[in-house]
Amino acid sequence: MRPQEKFQISGSDTQIPSRGLGTFLPDPGASEPNTVKKAVLDALKTGYRHIDTALRYGDGTGEREVGEAIRESGVPREEIFVVTKLENCFHAPEDVETGMDMSLKNLGLAYGTPIDLYLMHFPYAYQKTENFGTQREVDGKPLVDVELSRAYVTTWKAMEVLVDKCKARLIGVSNFSTPKMEKLLASARIKPAVNQIEVHPHWPQKDLVKFCQNSGVHVTAFGPLGCTPIPALVGRAGPGPLDDNIIFLLGQKYRKSPAQMILCHLICRGISVIPKSVSTKRILENFDCLFEMDAEDFKTIDTLMDEHSNKGVRNLETMSYLGFDNYNELYEEP
């Protein structure tokens, strides 16, 4: 099996690079200034042409550093597939364009240049403060706007207008379950181009991935190596896929690291990947993941959690933090 360098986005003339760089930092305050900028510059120099960021990453700092890196890289803007996301406090239809405009300003790309892909970061919304901050409980947990969280179809309609206004080439979603995708697809004027979700060998999400792909929605895997979310959202205890001995032993055969084996396997599934790293060595290593994998070895990784992924372990968990399971595959929450 040979992984692809790019995937065609259904219903468009756009291709999304299969290998991207994620720029989420679990604790931005613990990182040196310009950490994201340096990582993006390293990635673009290596050959990455797919950069993922979000307004909520460092309250806009991530976007600003991504924009600075793109401008300083010398790589033509049109060669780079830029992804950013609508923050949870901008879900009211009248606020969606404001959120987009903030991201455009932060990124500071060429005037009039649209975002290649704009995602609804989460289907649920937070109660906002006067200046689009998040209202919080005494313990720091965000206050969820339940009514608006159930109205993501209305938020989506406002995002469709961003395409009409040429502020986004494509729009999509992130962290959407199958029930939520079904509801959105039933009413969308512009079909979501992408659903960005947690996918890795220990959480393969086969049913959700199959549903999206059969519906013409491309899947991008965040946390493809077993993500590290903010501490309040960590759902996994114990080792992740990078520590899986079966993957390690298979890697010996190809002289590849566990990370390279995992990324190659996911791309062979038709999924683009955005592993995050600020290490130059790992950025280089993660990019070198396109190689021929024997079908038998692909199946070994593909069935680590059994044939139907019933034993999967999710890293990102919302129940204790928000009071509902955003990822429920049987019915919608909240």
What average pLDDT does the structure give for the chain? Answer: 95
How do strand 6-8 and strand 15-17 relate by DSSP bridges?
antiparallel
Per-residue pLDDT at 310: 66
What string of DSSP letters covers 154-217? HHHHHHHHHHHTTSEEEEEEES--HHHHHHHHHH-SS--SEEEEE-BTTB--HHHHHHHHHTT-
Distance CA(63)–CA(66), nearest Å, equals 5
Q: Which residues does the chain have with pLDDT short of 50?
A: none
The C-alpha atoms of residue 175 and residue 213 are separated, in whole angstroms, by 15
pLDDT at 315: 87
Q: pLDDT value at position 124?
A: 98
Angle at 31 between CA 26 and CA 28, to 5 degrees: 40
Residue with tokens 């080792």: 239
What per-residue confidence (pLDDT) applies to 227?
77
pLDDT (0 to 100) of residue 232? 65
Check: CB of residue 209 under 8 Å from CB of residue 199: yes
Query: Is the pTM value of this prediction over 0.95?
Result: yes
pLDDT digits 0-9 by tens, 35-46:
999 999 999 999
Alpha-carbon gap, residue 313 to 103, rounded angstroms: 33
CA nearest neighbour of 223 among 288, 261, 277: 277
Catalytic positions, please? Answer: 57
Q: What percent of the chain has pLDDT over 70?
A: 96
